[in-house]
Amino acid sequence: MSLLQHSVALLIAFPLAFAFLTAITEKLSAKVKNIVVPVGMLSVVCTAFLTSVDVFANGTKVYTMGAELPSITMPAKLAIPIRIVFIVDAFSAFMLLLSSIVATAAFLYSASFIREAQAKYYSLLFLMLAGMFGLACTADLFNLFVFLEVLSISSAALIAFFVDFKASEASYKYLIVSSLASLMVLLAVGILYAQYDMLNIAALAKVLRFSFVDIIALALLVSALAMKAGSVPMHFWVPDAYSRAPAAITATLVVASQSCLYALFRVSFSLFGAFPLIHIIAYAIILLGILSMFIGVTMALPQKDIKRLMAYHAISQTGYMLLGVGIGLLVGNTANIYALKAMEGGIFHIINHALYKGLLFLTAGAIIYSTGKRNLDELSGLARRMPATTIFFITGAAAIAGLPPTNGFASKLLIYESSYIFNPLFSIIAMIVSILTLVSFVKVFCSAFLGPELKALSNVKEVPKPMLFAMGMLSFFIIIFGLFPDIVLNTIVEPAAMALLNQKAYIGALG
């Protein structure tokens, strides 16, 4: 019970500690390092899983370091001492659960995929997890900036893990975008602190006057976090970063981008939810969603590099989440069934996208691992040599195209229905994008897996079992979430949507 009581602190402490221990034990003994890494990953994943289960079962958890939590109704300088506050509500728990599932698959996949510099690799992976968990749990704007930096620096290092020119170039682009986004976030934090002498999100939400400079801070936060999430028109870093990072890291980068999407939604709903002109931000998010969907899929169609093609589809799928949650923000009422269903569709699509896009990137990594090739024109007939990978690819492709009985169908159907009630044109665009997505992945399947065997690929074999197990794990969740969507919706998605829509409950948790 005591361990569960402090699980929120351990979410940050464990990945940071094991990042340090992995680097140290590598210097002492490789055998010890081989024990520390799996123990560390098991500890991190189990802590995230248990914390999320506890929150879904028992309600929001508030954890304070540095001082007891006073009432945020007191005068600012007395009520907000120097301390660190974490709050884990249902939406935070949703993100923790998502991160732990993908992190487990990435770790299993990496066991065979990563052969060199393992200590550096796993240390950086632990730091990525610390950044993602911190973003999901922090109740403080400055610490949001800190965890965003931890996530950005570790991600940039892992993008350039395979040291070559293109990987380094991709990492450099990512660093430029991350630095700009972080500067914008820090400027927004400074603006709010200068006016209100506080940084706690719930405390700020109670005293915001929505002045002109507050609106500037909101615009800076939304722009920066949308940029980090890979939304159009700030998406230019995504194709390079996703295509050049190791496959397991690309799958984790998808979750990292969604953590920034989480921060965008948290700022929009929990901090600025009472803003009288919040509908302007909602329309901006919806517009970003529509643009991301359409531009992402059209840019994917002509691609020949298999991972780059999938990277553009990641941009496109982000648009569905922005569309659903944007409609929920526009209506902004828990009693409105369409607002709730739009929110549920957008949030459900977050976890579904992480699962099937993670799976697709792992299958792309498996192809590159076995063949050494990533150009579709140089691939053919792999279904005979890699039957398991072929099945996993079909599963992921069906899910991203929104075909039943996969999870992609379940979340996209919610988005189609709710967006149709709001504006039929949005629903039509979303369905057209799904059709184009299906066309794109049929092209990939025919090019890479069907057709005659090439002499250059005559020695190709199926990938090692840990990689297959990781892909099988994500495929299992894709099918289960598609066959039993009501269970997932009622258990984790609806509570997450309600938590995001109910600003008063978030404020009250710290009051």
Residue 291: count of CB within 10 angstroms of its CB: 17
pLDDT of residue 367: 94
CA angle 440, 446, 451 (to 5 degrees): 165
**Report for 206-210, 439-443, 504-508: range of highest mean pLDDT:** 439-443
pLDDT of residue 429: 92
Between the CA of residue 334 and those of 60, 264, 370, 499, 501, what are the distances in Å?
18, 19, 50, 10, 6
pLDDT of residue 81: 46
Q: What are phi and psi of 115, to 5 degrees?
A: -115, -20
Percent of the chain with pLDDT over 90: 63
Q: What is the pTM of this model?
A: 0.92
pLDDT category at 66 given cuts 50, 70, 90 is: low
Judge whether residue 159 has pLDDT over 90: yes
Note the pLDDT tens digit of each residue in 88-122.
Answer: 999 999 999 999 999 999 999 998 888 777 889 99
pLDDT category at 446 given cuts 50, 70, 90 is: very high
Judge whether residue 460 has pLDDT over 90: no
Peptide bond into 38 cis (omega under 30): no
Q: Tokens in use for 298? A: 């059209």
Integer Cα distance of 218 and 225 in angstroms: 11
Cβ atoms of 87 and 44 within 8 Å: the answer is no
What is the rounded average pLDDT for all residues in the chain? 89
Q: Tokens in use for 9? A: 């602190």
Judge whether residue 336 has pLDDT over 70: no
Q: Please spell the DSSP secondary structure of 308-352, one letter per residue.
A: HHHHHHHHHHHHHHHHHHHHHHHH--TT-HHHHHHHHHHHHHHHH
pLDDT category at 74 given cuts 50, 70, 90 is: very low
Judge whether residue 389 has pLDDT over 90: yes
Integer Cα distance of 280 and 41 in angstroms: 42
Peptide bond into 233 cis (omega under 30): yes
Taking CB atoms within 8 Å and a gap of at least 24, the contacts of 479-483 are 479/395, 479/405, 479/406, 479/407, 481/351, 481/352, 481/355, 481/406, 481/407, 481/410, 482/399, 482/404, 482/405, 482/406, 482/407, 482/408, 482/409, 482/410, 483/405
Integer Cα distance of 315 and 318 in angstroms: 5
Residues 246-262 have a mean pLDDT of 93
Residues 227-243 have a mean pLDDT of 90
The domain segmentation of the chain, as residue ranges, is 2-509
pLDDT category at 73 given cuts 50, 70, 90 is: very low
Residue 76: count of CB within 10 angstroms of its CB: 14
Integer Cα distance of 392 and 390 in angstroms: 5
Q: Tokens in use for 54? A: 């506890």
pLDDT of residue 50: 93
Percent of the chain with pLDDT over 70: 95
More confident position, 83 or 81: 83
pLDDT category at 347 given cuts 50, 70, 90 is: very high
User: Across the strands, what pairs with 8?
Assistant: none
Judge whether residue 302 has pLDDT over 80: yes
pLDDT of residue 67: 56
Q: Tokens in use for 210? A: 């929505």
CA angle 183, 186, 189 (to 5 degrees): 155
Integer Cα distance of 139 and 63 in angstroms: 10
